[in-house]
Amino acid sequence: MSIFDTLSTYGVVPVIAIDDAEAALPLADALIAGGLPVAEITFRTEAARDVIARIAADRPYMIVGAGTVLTEDQADAALAAGARFALSPGIDAAVLAHAKQIGLPFAPGIMSPSELQIALRHGCEMVKFFPAMPAGGPNMLKNIAAPYAHTGIGFNPTGGVTPDNLSDWLAVPQVRAVGGTWIAKRDDIAAGNWDAITENARAAVARVREIRGA
């Protein structure tokens, strides 16, 4: 089972911007307590690499990945820190080639069939559909994905996904897991609202099970 297959078993991946590496383990523990031991830590903050490293070292059973990976150097940093996968809001052939060379499972961002074909050429198993709602929502993704269903490529829609529209996204057969920006918000992390994050994670897990009939 690939790492992206594993992510699909959860159906939702918390997408997290975190400013203080000291919050890394409390954040991980909050997500684990909610039954969602997975996170995409975005490289939008200076603390991202250290956060990934702390979680990977001290909570090895948590699946931690790197988001907003835009360059080869960031891909190297993510892998060195212990990230098990990486994602980007866009697609860059040079970064994809480098990620493949160093053995970092990578899901680039796409909005069109042409970009999807670039990802396929580079052997990607999953792509991020971003920004998901502004790009046309579940119906747009359904139509983009349909001609490529035979390739087995999966999708991770992110951007505007909420508990209210989660069922629409998961109804698209090729969606493996959505990006859940609502689960661990930057303000809640900064304020140490760990109980709220745990409850958001628990609710997301329950909602995915309800939708999937599990």
pLDDT digits (tens, 9 = 90+) for 84-136: 999 999 999 999 999 999 999 999 999 999 999 999 999 999 999 999 999 99
Determine the pLDDT at residue 7.
Answer: 97
pLDDT of residue 154: 98
Is 40 assigned a catalytic role? yes
Active site residue 100: no
pLDDT, position 152: 97
pLDDT on residue 133: 98
User: Cα–Cα distance between 205 and 20 in angstroms, integer?
Assistant: 26
Supply angle C-alpha 177, 68, 158, rounded to 5. 30
How is the chain split into domains, by residue range?
3-212
List alpha helices for 82-112, DSSP H: 93-102
Torsion of CA 109, 116, 133, 185, to 10 degrees: -20
What is the overall mean pLDDT for the chain? 98
CATH code assigned to 3-212: 3.20.20.70
> Among residues 22, 100, 128, 185, which one is catalytic?
128
Pairing of strands 63-67, 38-42: parallel
Catalytic residue chosen out of the listed positions 22, 40, 142, 185? 40
Provide the whole-model pTM: 0.97
Give the separation between CA 150 and CA 171, rounded to whole angstroms.
17
Residues whose CB falls within 8 Å of the CB of residue 154, separated by 6 or more in sequence, listed in order:
4, 8, 125, 126, 127, 174, 175, 176
**pLDDT band, very low/low/confident/very high, at 186 (cuts 50, 70, 90):** very high
Give me the mean pLDDT over the 174-191 stretch: 98
Terminal-residue alpha carbon distance, the chain: 20
Coarse DSSP helix, strand, coil percentages of the chain, rounded to the nearest 5 percent:
50, 15, 35
* pLDDT over 70 percentage in the chain: 100
Do the beta carbons of residue 122 and residue 96 sit within 8 Å?
Answer: yes
pLDDT over threshold 80, residue 214:
no
